[in-house]
A and B are shown apart, each in its own frame.
Chain A
Amino acid sequence: MTLPRSDSWELGGREWSSRLIAGTGGFRSLEQMESALAASGAEIVTVALRRIDPDAKGSVLDLLDRLGLFALPNTAGCFTARDAVRTAQLAREAFGTDWIKLEVIGDDRTLYPDAVELLDAAETLVGDGFTVLPYTNDDPILARRLEEAGCAAVMPLGSPIGSGAGIRNPYNVAIIAERAAVPVVLDAGIGTASDAALAMELGCDAVMAASSIFGAEDPTAMARALRGAVEAGSAARRAGRIPRRTHAEASTPDEGLPELS
Chain B
Amino acid sequence: MRIELNGEQRELPQGATVADAVRASGAEDRGRGVAAALDGEVVPRSEWERIPLAEGRSVEVLAAIQGGAADANDFVVARSRGVRR
Contact: B70 with A49, CB < 8 Å? no
A-B interface, 4 closest residue pairs, ranked by CB to CB distance from nearest? A23-B68, A54-B26, A48-B67, A83-B78
- Per-residue B-contact encoding for A137-169, CB less than 8 Å = 1, 0 else: 000000000000000000000000110000000
Q: Which of B9-17, B38-46, B50-58 contacts A (4 or more CB under 8 A)?
A: B38-46
Q: How far is the CA of A80 from the CA of B40 in the complex (A)?
A: 14
8 Å CB contacts to A: which residues of B46-80? 60-72, 74-79
Q: Which of A11-19, A87-95, A227-235, A247-255 contacts B (4 or more CB under 8 A)?
A: A87-95
Interface contacts (Cβ under 8 Å), in number, total 171
Given contacts A59-B33, A90-B77, contact A26 B63 (CB under 8 A): no
Contact: A210 with B62, CB < 8 Å? no
How close is A209's CB to chain B, nearest CB, in angstroms?
8
Q: How far is the CA of A142 from the CA of B35 in the complex (A)?
A: 32
The DSSP consensus for interface residues of chain A is mixed
Interface residues of A, Cβ cutoff 8 Å to B: 22-27, 33, 45-56, 59-61, 71, 73-80, 82-84, 86-87, 89-91, 93-96, 103, 105, 108, 111, 114, 117, 135, 161-162, 210-211, 214
Contact of A162 among B64, B69, B74, B84 (CB under 8 A): B69
Contact of B66 among A24, A86, A211 (CB under 8 A): A24
Q: Can you list 11 contacts pairing A with B, beta carbon distance less than 8 Å?
A: A48-B68, A52-B63, A55-B26, A56-B63, A59-B30, A77-B74, A79-B84, A84-B78, A86-B37, A94-B32, A214-B68
Q: How far is the CA of A46 from the CA of B42 in the complex (A)?
A: 21
B29 closest partner in A (C-beta): A59
How close is A106's CB to chain B, nearest CB, in angstroms?
8
